Structure 1
Amino acid sequence: MDVRIVKSEARSSYVPSSSWRRLTTLGLAIGLVCGSLLTPLAAQAEDISPQLIDQGHRLAVAADCQACHTDVLHGGKPFAGGYSIHSPLGVIYATNITPSRSAGIGDYSEAEFARALRQGVRRDGAHLYPAMPYTSYTQLTDTDIHALYAYFMHGVQPVDVQAHQTHLPFPFSIRASMAVWNALYLRDRRFRPDTSRTAEVNRGAYLAGALEHCDACHTPRNAMMAESSSRPLAGGMVGEWFAPNISSDPVSGIGGWTDEQLFSYLKTGRAAGMAQAAGGMAEAVEHSLQYLPDDDIRALIAYLRTTAPQRDPGESKPAFTYGAAASAEPSLRGLSGHHDREALRGGAQLYSGFCASCHQPDGSGSANQAYPSLFHNTATGLPNPSDLVAAMLNGVDRTVDGRQVLMPRFDRQSYVAQLSDEQIAEIANYVLQHYGNSSQRVTPGDVFEARGGGKLPLIARLQPDIVPAMLGGVLVLVLILWLVWRRWHRRFQG
C-alpha cells in the first residue's frame, strides 16, 4: 500500500496517499450505513432486559395465559396449546403461543402480537374466537403489551409441535364471520384511569377488566354470546358451571363479604363459611391469583367494592346464609343394603354412602374445612344449583401453595363411582333441602344437560337450522330480484 512519510521540523507524521484516503472514506460510509441498520437492533436487544422479561412473566401469570394454553391433562409443555375448551358452539383448542417459528408465534412482530391480543386477529389475518378473551385484553396498555411480547419471545421455550386445530360446525367454522361480531361487540379501547378514583381502585379495575378478564366469565351473555353490558359482573353460565354475581350488591353479589373473606377466597380458593373455588375459578386461583402480590389482591377487592350493584330477581338474602347442620343417619340404621352402594336408593342413602364420609353426616364438613360445610355455602345457597351439580360430576381439583384440594368426580370418568343422572339429582336435592336453598330443585334432565356442557345458547340451538335458513333466504332474495327485474322488463318493453 502506498504510504508516504513526510518529515517536519516540529514532528513526524504519516500522510496517507490519495488511494488510501478514498478507501478510508468508503469504509467510513459503509460503517455509517451498517451502524444505522444495526442501531435499532442493538437498541431492541438492549431493551429486552431480564427485568422486562420478568415483568412480562408476571403479567402473563396475572392474565392466566398458562391455564388455557397448556394441556396439563395430557402432559403438554408450557404454552404449547392443545387444551380443549368446551364451548357451546363446539370444542375450541388453545393454540401454541411459544416462540416456535414452525408451530407457535415465533414469526409475530410486536404489532401482530398486539393485534392478536387486542383485536383477536392472527398473523395470517384469520380471526380468533372470543374463547380467547381479547375483548378484555383489548384494554392492555402498550407498555404491558411490550413486556408480554418480550416474555413470550425471550422467556418461553419454543415447542415445535402443532396444537390440535379447532373445527367448529358450519357456519361457525367461517372465521371471517367474527369480523361482523367484532364490529358489533368489540370495544377496541385501552384502559384509562378514572381520575375521580384512587390509584388502588384504578389498579384493581385494570386487573379485573384487562388482565384477569373477570367479566369474561362473571357477566351474562346475550343470544350472540356477547357480554351483556347492562348487567356487568351479574353472573353467567360458563359451560355447566355458574360464575356467580361478583358485583357490590350485598345480597346477590359480594357486598356481604368482608375484605378478609374476599382476600382468602382470591388467594387460596376458599373462604370459610362462604365458598370454595371449583371449575374455571379453581384454575384461575391455581395458575394466577395465588401468585399475585397481596397489594394487587387488595386492589381487586377495592375495585369490586365500587362496582354497580346487580340484584338478581327474587333474591332476599345472601347465598352463604342458607342451611344448617342436619343428619338423617338415625333414620337409616338397620335398613337393608345400606352399606351396599349398588343398593342405595333415595337422596338420604346416596348422600350417606357417597358424601357423608367427607362432608360429615350432618353436612358440617371436616374439622379443617378442607372438605367444606355444605350449609353456609354459596354452591348450595345460590338460586342456580348448577355449581352443585357440576362439582359432583367433575369434582374439584386445585393446588394452592403446594397443597392439593381434591374432591373425586362422579361422572362416567370417575374412579370412585359412576353415578347416573337420577342419582346425582337425588343427592343434589337432598343437599338443597337439608343444607341449602330448598326452593331449588334438580331434575335428571338438568344433570344430563350438565354432562353435555350445559344449556346451549340460542345461537347454538339454531345451528342445525342455520344452513337451511340461509339457503331459504338466498332463494327468497333471488325471487324478489327476479320479480323486480320482470316488472322493470315489462315496463321497459311496453
Structure 2
Amino acid sequence: MLKLKQIALVLTLASGAAHAADNALVKKGEYLAVASDCTACHTAEHGQPFAGGKVIESPVGEIIATNITPSKIAGIGQYSEQQFADAVRKGVRADGANLYPAMPYTAYATLTDDDIHALYAYFMSGVQPVDKATEETHLPFPLNLRFSMMFWNALFLKAPGYTPDASQSASWNRGRYLVDGAAHCSTCHTPRGFLMQEKEGDAFTGAQVGPWFAPNITANAVSGIGQWSQQDLITYLKTGRLADKAQAAGSMAEAITHSFQHLSDADLAAIAEYMSSVTDKNAPASGASRFEQGKAAQNLVAFRGDAFTAPTSDEGARLFSGNCASCHGSSGEGTKDAFYPSLFHNSATAERNPSNLIATILYGVQRPTAKGDVFMPPFGSQPNAINHLDDQQVATLSNWILHHYGNVEVTVSPEQVAEIRRGGPSSPLVMLAQVGVGLGAVVFVVLLAWWLMRRRNKK
C-alpha cells in the first residue's frame, strides 16, 4: 500500500513538473509573439486577438492578414509544428500556397528551432480560437499567382537559423538575433530593390513604408542615430519619444505600443548594443544630423488684426497659428515636459524625405502609453470636417514648418501630399509584370503562328 502511495506521489510530482514546463514554454512563446509584433498585423482594430482581417497597404496592393488563432476551421488549428515552422520561416502555408513577404518571413527565418517550438506552443495553447474566416487577398495579375513567390524566395530567402558571432558579446548576439529576426527592423528600415527585395548593402539606411518613412537607424552620427546613447535608444523604444529628437508615429508607434515597450530591459539593452555597431557605408563624413536643425520662430505679425479667413501675406503662418500653435507653441517650441514636442531639433521636420511631416499632418498621432495617450488630431479627414486641410494647404503648412523649423532644402508639393493621402508611393512592379506577361504572350503567339506556317508549307 505504501509503495502505491509513493508511486502516486511521484506521478503527481512529475505531472506538476510537466505542467509547469508547459506553462513556461507557452509564456516564452507569448513573449516571442510580442517581440515579433504579431498582433500589429493579425489583430484588426476592435477585433479579436490574432483573428486577422486587417488590411495591410503595400506598394503592390492591399494584403489582408489571416486568422492565426488555433481555430481548426478558420485559423491554424490544423497545422503541425513543421507546417507552422514552414509558414513562419519559409512563407509556405499548410496547403502549400506561398505567403506574400508582407508577412516578414524573410526576417523570421532567423528564429531558432527552440523559439519556433515555443511560438507553436503559445499559438496552439495560449490563444483563444476564433472561428471566423478572413477575406482572401486579391492582388493584381500576375502577382495574384502565389506560386510566383517560389522564384522570389529562391533569390532572396535565407536558410533558417541563426549563427552567433563568436567575436562579439552574448548581449550583442542577442541584440542582432532580435533585430534581424523577431523584431524584423530591417523589414521597414531597409530600402527595397526593383523586385521589392531588401537591399542588404544599405541595411537600416531608411525606406518608405506606405505613407510613412522609416528613417536611417544606423550608428552614423550624421545620417543615422549615432548621436543617441544606448540609453537614449532604450528610452525611445520603451516610451515612443525622445525629447528634442524623435517621436513615434505610424507603424513605429504600433511597434512600440504592441511590442518594444513590453520587452525586458536586458533585451532592449541588447538591441541598443547591437544597433550601436551598425554602420552606414554611404553616409556623409560630416554635416548636421536631422536632430539639430531649425530654431524657434513665428510670424504672427503677418496676419494679426485681420480676419482669420482672409488672405494674408504669410498663409503658412496663418495655418500654423490656427492649427498647430495651440499645442506646439507659437514659436514651435513645444511644451516644457515635451509631451507636445518641439518642431525644431525634430527628426520629422529635418528629414530629407518629408513623408513623416506630411503623414503626421494628414493622419495625426495616437499612441497609448503607460502615462496616457499621446494624441494629435488628423487634418486630412473628410472634406467637410472642421479641421480638414486640402492638399495645397498641407503643402503650404509643411513648407512653412520646414523653412522655419527644419530642413530648408526640402520643398513639399500638393502632388506629394496627394500621394501620401492615397497611402504612399505605389510600385511599378505590377504594371511591368503585366507588360512582361503580355509581351511573353505575344511572342508565344508569333512563334506558334510561325511554326504552324512552316509545318503547313512542308506538306
- Which of 9, 23, 26 is residue 50 of structure 1 equivalent to? 23
Residue of structure 1 in register with 2:346 after alignment:
377
- 2:409 is aligned with 1:436: no
* Distance in 1 separating the partners of 2:342 and 2:233: 18
- 2:121 is aligned with 1:150: yes
Residue of structure 2 in register with 1:327 after alignment:
298
* Distance in 2 separating the partners of 1:396 and 1:131: 23
- Which of 173, 197, 208 is residue 226 of structure 1 equivalent to? 197
- 2:54 is aligned with 1:66: no
DSSP-derived class of the 1:230 partner = helix
- Which of 421, 426, 429 is residue 459 of structure 1 equivalent to? 429
Q: Deviations over 1:358-391 (max 9, x none)?
A: 1111000122111100000010011111100011
TM-aligned CA distance change 1:58 to 1:448, over 3 Å:
same
* Distance in 1 separating the partners of 2:98 and 2:422: 27
Q: Deviations over 1:205-239 (max 9, x none)?
A: 00100000000000000111110112111110001
- Which of 421, 428, 448 is residue 391 of structure 2 equivalent to? 421
* Distance in 2 separating the partners of 1:444 and 1:452: 12
TM-aligned CA distance change 1:286 to 1:342, over 3 Å:
farther
TM-aligned CA deviation for residue 449 of structure 1: 0.6
- 2:447 is aligned with 1:447: no
**Counterpart amino acid of 1:168?**
L
Residue of structure 1 in register with 2:134 after alignment:
163
Please tell me whether the aligned partners of residues 223 and 284 of structure 2 are also in contact (alpha carbons under 8 angstroms): no
Structure-to-structure mapping, 1:298-447, within 5 angstroms: 298-312=269-283, 316-335=287-306, 337-338=307-308, 340=309, 346-401=315-370, 403-413=372-382, 417-447=387-417
- 2:147 is aligned with 1:179: no
Identity fraction in percent: 48
**Counterpart amino acid of 1:53?**
V
* Distance in 2 separating the partners of 1:250 and 1:467: 43
Residue of structure 1 in register with 2:438 after alignment:
471
Gaps of 5+ in 2: 1-14
TM-aligned CA deviation for residue 412 of structure 1: 2.5
TM-aligned CA distance change 1:313 to 1:240, over 3 Å:
farther
Residue of structure 1 in register with 2:262 after alignment:
291
* Distance in 1 separating the partners of 2:277 and 2:138: 41
Please tell me whether the aligned partners of residues 252 and 315 of structure 1 are also in contact (alpha carbons under 8 angstroms): no
TM-aligned CA deviation for residue 185 of structure 1: 1.2
Residue of structure 2 in register with 1:85 after alignment:
56
TM-score scaled by length of structure 2: 0.91
- Which of 217, 230, 235 is residue 259 of structure 1 equivalent to? 230
Please tell me whether the aligned partners of residues 138 and 210 of structure 1 are also in contact (alpha carbons under 8 angstroms): yes
Please tell me whether the aligned partners of residues 115 and 122 of structure 1 are also in contact (alpha carbons under 8 angstroms): yes
TM-aligned CA deviation for residue 458 of structure 1: 2.5
Please tell me whether the aligned partners of residues 64 and 287 of structure 1 are also in contact (alpha carbons under 8 angstroms): yes
* Distance in 1 separating the partners of 2:176 and 2:386: 42
**Counterpart amino acid of 1:454?**
G
TM-aligned CA deviation for residue 315 of structure 1: 7.7
TM-aligned CA deviation for residue 46 of structure 1: 5.8
Higher Rg: 1
TM-aligned CA deviation for residue 486 of structure 1: 6.0
- Which of 201, 212, 219 is residue 241 of structure 1 equivalent to? 212
**Counterpart amino acid of 2:89?**
R
Please tell me whether the aligned partners of residues 344 and 353 of structure 1 are also in contact (alpha carbons under 8 angstroms): no
Relative to structure 2, which stretch is displaced further, 257-266 or 150-159?
257-266
TM-aligned CA deviation for residue 341 of structure 1: 9.2
Q: Deviations over 1:146-169 (max 9, x none)?
A: 000000000001111112321112
* Distance in 1 separating the partners of 2:63 and 2:382: 21
* Distance in 1 separating the partners of 2:379 and 2:344: 21
Gaps of 5+ in 1: 1-41
* Distance in 2 separating the partners of 1:439 and 1:345: 19
Residue of structure 2 in register with 1:133 after alignment:
104
TM-aligned CA deviation for residue 469 of structure 1: 4.2
* Distance in 2 separating the partners of 1:180 and 1:471: 19
DSSP-derived class of the 1:321 partner = coil
Q: Deviations over 1:92-144 (max 9, x none)?
A: 11111110111111000000000000111111111111110000001100000
Aligned positions, number: 444
* Distance in 1 separating the partners of 2:134 and 2:147: 21
TM-aligned CA deviation for residue 244 of structure 1: 0.3
RMSD (Å) for aligned C-alpha atoms? 2.4
Residue of structure 2 in register with 1:104 after alignment:
75
TM-aligned CA deviation for residue 47 of structure 1: 8.9
Q: Deviations over 1:422-455 (max 9, x none)?
A: 0100110000000000000000000001111111
Structure-to-structure mapping, 1:264-279, within 5 angstroms: 264-279=235-250
Q: Deviations over 1:8-47 (max 9, x none)?
A: xxxxxxxxxxxxxxxxxxxxxxxxxxxxxxxxxx9xx869
Q: Deviations over 1:447-493 (max 9, x none)?
A: 00111111122314x26xx4454233222234235546766997x88
Q: Deviations over 1:285-305 (max 9, x none)?
A: 000000001111110010011
TM-aligned CA distance change 1:324 to 1:183, over 3 Å:
same
* Distance in 2 separating the partners of 1:183 and 1:485: 36
Q: Deviations over 1:42-99 (max 9, x none)?
A: 9xx8696111111110110000011111112xx2001111111111111111111110
Please tell me whether the aligned partners of residues 408 and 416 of structure 1 are also in contact (alpha carbons under 8 angstroms): no
* Distance in 2 separating the partners of 1:91 and 1:475: 29
TM-aligned CA distance change 1:46 to 1:392, over 3 Å:
same
Please tell me whether the aligned partners of residues 245 and 253 of structure 1 are also in contact (alpha carbons under 8 angstroms): yes
**Counterpart amino acid of 1:98?**
T
TM-aligned CA deviation for residue 345 of structure 1: 7.2
Please tell me whether the aligned partners of residues 234 and 310 of structure 1 are also in contact (alpha carbons under 8 angstroms): no
TM-aligned CA distance change 1:314 to 1:429, over 3 Å:
farther
Residue of structure 1 in register with 2:6 after alignment:
none
TM-aligned CA distance change 1:311 to 1:475, over 3 Å:
closer
**Counterpart amino acid of 2:327?**
C
**Counterpart amino acid of 1:386?**
S
DSSP-derived class of the 2:394 partner = helix
TM-score scaled by length of structure 1: 0.85
